[in-house]
Amino acid sequence: MKSSLSTTWKWLISVRLTIFILLFIILFCILGTIVAQQGMTALPLEKVYSPQKLKWLRMFGLTDVFHSPYFIFLLFALATNLVACSIERLPKIWKHTFHVTPPPTNDPFLKSWTQEEARRGKYLLQRPGHGSFATLAEAKMALQLFFERRFGKTQVLVDAPEHFQVMVEKGKYSRIGVYITHLSLLMIMFGGVLGAIFGFEAGMSIEEGSRQSWLQHMKGSTGGLNLFRENGLPVKGFLNLGFDVECKAFRLETYDGSRPKSFQSDLNFYENDVKVASATIGVNTPFHYKGITFYQASYSDLGVGSADLKVFRTPAGGDHKKATMEVVSAVKPGDLYRIDGNAAFRVLSLETNMMNLGPAAKVQFYKTKQDKKPDEFWVFQNLPGFDFSHRKNESIHFVIDALKPKFATGLSVAKDPGVGVVWLGAACLILALFIALYTHHARYWVSYSKEHGFTIVGWSNKLFLFEPKFKNFYDDLKKELKI
């Protein structure tokens, strides 16, 4: 029983398992990019694949690889492997690095070791001889001075009459870089899990000037929100935010009339009809409210929304040149607008291009309050004289000043309580990677004995990074001690 447990453990902490899992993750990632994925293609999957093919792909879960049980299992296995490896190796490395100073291996160190033998054991070795020192005490002093100057510290290992040895250790912390790397990856995974369990992705489309409290649910959990109810019944696929979002205004700027340069929405947030927050959001500048993030994702052009109308009043006598003018702005189709005590008008419809004559509005004009048969006629933006000549004898005339387009803003709405953990993990990952890959743990020993003179030994967990440093150290030592 015990042996089977230890076999399992050995298997669990093996790099072979890691490689195996990584290879499988790569394989499924590739599959996930060559098979069209659910919800990621412009066309529905039914149009991409034949029903027969789709049935097979669905059966093997290949249309949603990244959320399929085996992919999640692989990630889980990777996490387990990471944890197991860390548990197995971290204490050993910790002990090796922080608690034990390796004893000087005196004999091979001093006499029989050749450079090749040392190298095989990951040590670098130099034997420059005696130098110009007459006594051991002189050499000791010079050596200690050199170490203090170069590293700011020394550790005397041997201080005997015939033999003196000092040692310095650098970059211990480099060794834990790799464990922080793995820990950060676990953190990122954990953040991902938090997001998957408690977060959601949703969308909402709000017309300019209107309010909305429901979301179209696209992915993930309900994130603690209630389902949206209509007439007391929950509507499938919709969530209730619990507050209202109003799109007060939407602005679209274009480069040359076609390509969008920027688009922004002015949003107001209402709780129980009380305005609690407002924000302007744009692409790349989202807004957070109550743990929910609102992104500017898209917009839709709903055509003409309103018009600014110029209303001309010709004084008695019929001279249009003496007419006074006022602008009635944001006239919406259907609303009645009073001009003075008696007259009123209403726009019945707005056209962007009526019979190739440009923007036009159909106006219904009431001369008096009791007017039972109001006039109905068209007015144009590009033909300002049209209404004057068409209804020559009237005293009030209309011209379109401008048509205002109407937009609905398209918002992505998401909640992801794991995102902070992911960022923290990512930051640690990068930092730890730099530590793990670019720094190294090194030890320098220098010994002097009457018999053999100087012996200089270096060791590092990354020999190739250490070698130039050791060479530099050795050169400086020779120069300063005049060996």
Footprint of another protein on this chain (CB under 8 A)?
15-16, 18-19, 22-23, 25-26, 29-30, 32-34, 36-37, 40-43, 48, 66, 192, 201, 255, 259-263, 282-286, 293, 295, 297, 412-414, 416, 419, 422-423, 426, 429-430, 433-434, 437-438, 464
Q: State in angstroms the smallest separation of the CB of 245 from another protein.
A: 15
Judged by beta carbon, residue 96 or residue 111, the one nearer another protein is 96
Judged by beta carbon, residue 192 or residue 458, the one nearer another protein is 192
Helix axes 69-94, 2-12, angle to 10 degrees: 100
- The 10 Å Cβ neighbour count of residue 413 is 24
Residue type, 207: E
Cα–Cα distances in angstroms (integers) from residue 191 to residues 21, 87, 218, 315, 423, in the given order:
21, 21, 20, 73, 9
Judged by beta carbon, residue 142 or residue 185, the one nearer another protein is 185
Q: Are 302 and 247 in contact (CB under 8 A)?
A: no
Judged by beta carbon, residue 136 or residue 196, the one nearer another protein is 196
Cα–Cα distances in angstroms (integers) from residue 17 to residues 8, 9, 180, 252, 285, in the given order:
11, 11, 20, 53, 43
Helix axes 463-481, 136-151, angle to 10 degrees: 130
Q: State in angstroms the smallest separation of the CB of 458 from another protein.
A: 17
Gap between the Cα atoms of 256 and 137, Å rounded = 84
- The 10 Å Cβ neighbour count of residue 91 is 10
Q: State in angstroms the smallest separation of the CB of 178 from another protein.
A: 8
On the CB side of 118, how many CA atoms lie within 13 Å of its CA? 22
Q: State in angstroms the smallest separation of the CB of 284 from another protein.
A: 5
On the CB side of 104, how many CA atoms lie within 13 Å of its CA? 25
Q: State in angstroms the smallest separation of the CB of 362 from another protein.
A: 34
Q: State in angstroms the smallest separation of the CB of 176 from another protein.
A: 15
**Residue linked to tokens 């068409």:** 390
Judged by beta carbon, residue 338 or residue 434, the one nearer another protein is 434
**Which two tokens mark 9?**
């453990």
Q: How far is CA 134 from the centre of its chain?
A: 66
Judged by beta carbon, residue 247 or residue 435, the one nearer another protein is 435
Judged by beta carbon, residue 79 or residue 136, the one nearer another protein is 79
Q: State in angstroms the smallest separation of the CB of 400 from another protein.
A: 28
Alpha helices in 213-328 (DSSP H): none
Judged by beta carbon, residue 168 or residue 189, the one nearer another protein is 189
Selection from 193, 185, 183, 187 nearest residue 416 by Cα: 193
Q: State in angstroms the smallest separation of the CB of 186 from another protein.
A: 15
Residue type, 169: E
Q: State in angstroms the smallest separation of the CB of 441 from another protein.
A: 13
Selection from 212, 278, 209 nearest residue 250 by Cα: 209
